[in-house]
Amino acid sequence: MALSFNPATASLTTDLQEVTTIIKVKPSAVMTIRGYYFPVYFDKNKVQIKNLTYMMGNVSASLGQTNADLAKINADGYIVVQGEDQTLTGWVFGNTTGFVNVISIKFARKASGSSNLSINKDSVRFYKNATNGILSAITGSNNAFLTVNGGVPSVTPTPTPTPKAGTPTPTPIGGVNATLKLKLKFQGIGTKPTGALNKLKVRLKLYDENTETYTGSDAADFTADNNGIWSGNVVFNGVFTTHNYVLLVKGPYHIQKKVCVVKPTETAGGTYRCIKGSISFTKGDNNLDLSGIVLLAGDLPAQDGTISSYDTSLIRNNLGKTDSASVAKSDVNHDGIIDTQDYSLVIASLSIKNDEE
Amino acid sequence: MENNQSNNKIFIYLLVVFFAFFAGTNIFLLVNNKSQPPSEKEMVATSTEGALNLFLDQEGKASFPKDKEIIINLKADSMEKNISGYDVVLSYDPLAFEFIKATSLLTDFTIHIYKKDNYLTLLGTKMLQSQTQSVFDKTKIVSLVFKPLKAGQFDFALEPSFNKDKTDFITDETEILNPALNELKVEIY
């Protein structure tokens, strides 16, 4: 997907002077799109966003940012653009020659100096409707920029929590014990597995947005109800009730999912994405209902944080097996046999490939 | 007199044996020398866990005009092992080349392509319905097309790993092979 700003340059000579740009996209192939997601970064000290108008489908409710979020957008320095087309056909790209408007952004000068608006191609996701009904994500083919007052095009990387090398991280003192009571949904498991198969060990990790550090990790056993919703508890010590957190969840056959709110939702399985965590905890029990999103399968034991040919081969080479050792390694949907369903589940996740961080 | 004639016969016999031995040795050395192939000029990597090598589609040519796309192929050797999947990490200069496409040259393998900042990863999976053996013996497995963006001399290199991505072959016994890898120099003018 090629992305561009139109216009791609702006000259703002006075404060509050406004300009409107449209972000456009051109597909690499004829396809039908169900949804899209990308953050647009800007220098919050030089520019402020005044208006957003989605032009492709509609904004994804409670996921994509709108004019109601302008205060947060201008405080954060980025816009989360997330939209979808819920019509029967979806958004059809009938050719690969023309650019299509995605969103219009009006912004104004806040202070003098050069800056830019940018889109990092690796953060871009367009969800394509495949013939088998499975959505696959397409990333951007280029970084896109709008330079303001001669700014140098540069990409703001997706804010990933990387500890700064050589800088000792202060360990917060105090905090409370928080019990996370979680509900999860795993790709391909729609009912309660039988017997010993009704148990999955899930690894959980917290990232503290305030201190920019990982504050704890633990694993817990989860069991499913008749609807395939998995429940389990995990206790984290030293959690600050005033801080915002990201929760990272990794199932035993799954790629890690980053979750930023206590009850995330998505319109198509596996499409939920977020940037900044806003989960806050209280002392004692904290309910997090993640059953509105699906944890995608693909990273089989021994896990290495990515879906590779080892994972697809592990299923292919054990097709039809029902022994406990084989099932423990590659029975993704927990029905007691390694079969083509398990293989299809992993193949369906290949558009994501790596753990979310 | 009879003794002299007998000595001459022995001498002639020894002379014939000596010449026969001399001629035989020369013929053997000559034949042996001719049967050796000319030394291999392309840089290839091999190991007991197989090999994966980059080579240009137009062999013997390493210099290309800027306005023409270049095709680089991947040649694999799996040391007689039957392969059910492979991963490839290929680094290149994205300011010098635009990646255009990758195509599986094996009809029963599907490839998934992931374009990263300065490298490319490929994930090859053997189709479930395929029952044929996939033993790579200097087999061309993938064709890659790049569009040059600027002139200069540049490297394409197969990397053992990059971040979480790796280069490997997976056998039908789910054994991981770490093949020997090479790199390729390309000049664009």
CATH code of residue A213? 2.60.40.4130
**Given B84, B128, B171, which is nearest A340 (Cβ)?**
B128
Confidence of residue B104 (pLDDT cuts 50, 70, 90): very high
Q: Which residues of A touch B149 (CB under 8 A)?
A: none
Q: Which of A133, A148, A163 is the last residue of a domain?
A: A148
**CA–CA separation, B71 and B57 (whole Å):** 5
**CA–CA separation, A63 and A272 (whole Å):** 8
Closest residue in A to B166 (Cα–Cα): A308
Q: Which of A148, A164, A185 is the last residue of a domain?
A: A148
Question: Do β-strands B161-162 and B51-56 pair in parallel, antiparallel, or remain unpaired?
Answer: unpaired
Confidence of residue B28 (pLDDT cuts 50, 70, 90): very low
Indicate whether A142 and A207 sit together in one domain. Answer: no
Could you report the per-residue pLDDT of A136-185, keeping only the tens digit for each? 778 888 899 999 888 777 765 544 433 333 333 334 456 889 999 999 99
CB contact under 8 A, A355 and B115: no
Greater pLDDT, A336 or B44: A336
**CA–CA separation, B85 and A132 (whole Å):** 23
Could you report the per-residue pLDDT of B41-88, keeping only the tens digit for each? 345 555 668 999 999 988 778 899 999 999 999 999 999 999 999 999
CB contact under 8 A, B85 and A122: no
Write out the residue range of the structural domain in which residue B16 sits: 1-36
A190 belongs to a structural domain = yes
Write out the residue range of the structural domain in which residue A187 sits: 175-357
Number of independent structural domains in chain B: 2
A238 belongs to a structural domain = yes
What is the overall mean pLDDT for chain A? 87
Indicate whether A139 and A222 sit together in one domain. Answer: no
What's the pLDDT score for residue B37? Answer: 35
What's the pLDDT score for residue A174? Answer: 63
Q: Chain B within 8 Å of A322 (Cβ-Cβ)?
A: no
B43 belongs to a structural domain = no
Domain with residue B128: its CATH number is 2.60.40.680
CB contact under 8 A, A350 and B165: no
Number of independent structural domains in chain A: 2
Indicate whether A181 and A140 sit together in one domain. Answer: no
What's the pLDDT score for residue A59? Answer: 86
What's the pLDDT score for residue A31? Answer: 82
Indicate whether A236 and A131 sit together in one domain. Answer: no
Does residue A275 carry a pLDDT above 80? yes
Q: Chain A within 8 Å of B113 (Cβ-Cβ)?
A: no
Indicate whether B67 and B159 sit together in one domain. Answer: yes
How many pairs of residues across A and B have Cβ atoms under 8 Å apart?
Answer: 64
Greater pLDDT, B45 or A271: A271
CB contact under 8 A, B123 and A353: yes
Q: How many CB atoms lie within 10 A of CB A17?
A: 12
Q: Chain B within 8 Å of A50 (Cβ-Cβ)?
A: no
Indicate whether A143 and A232 sit together in one domain. Answer: no
Does residue B6 carry a pLDDT above 80? no
Does residue A119 carry a pLDDT above 60? yes
A203 belongs to a structural domain = yes
Indicate whether B32 and B56 sit together in one domain. Answer: no
Based on its alpha-carbon atoms, the radius of gyration of chain A, rounded to whole angstroms, reads 22
**Side-chain-side CA neighbours of residue B112 (13 Å):** 22
Indicate whether B107 and B171 sit together in one domain. Answer: yes
Q: Chain B within 8 Å of A304 (Cβ-Cβ)?
A: yes
Indicate whether B12 and B89 sit together in one domain. Answer: no
B95 belongs to a structural domain = yes
Q: How close is the nearest chain A Cα to the Cα of B93, in Å?
A: 15
Q: Chain A within 8 Å of B104 (Cβ-Cβ)?
A: no
Indicate whether A186 and A142 sit together in one domain. Answer: no
A168 belongs to a structural domain = no
ipTM: 0.75
Q: Which residues of B touch A355 (CB under 8 A)?
A: 164
Indicate whether A78 and A206 sit together in one domain. Answer: no
Question: Do β-strands A176-185 and A229-239 pair in parallel, antiparallel, or remain unpaired?
Answer: antiparallel
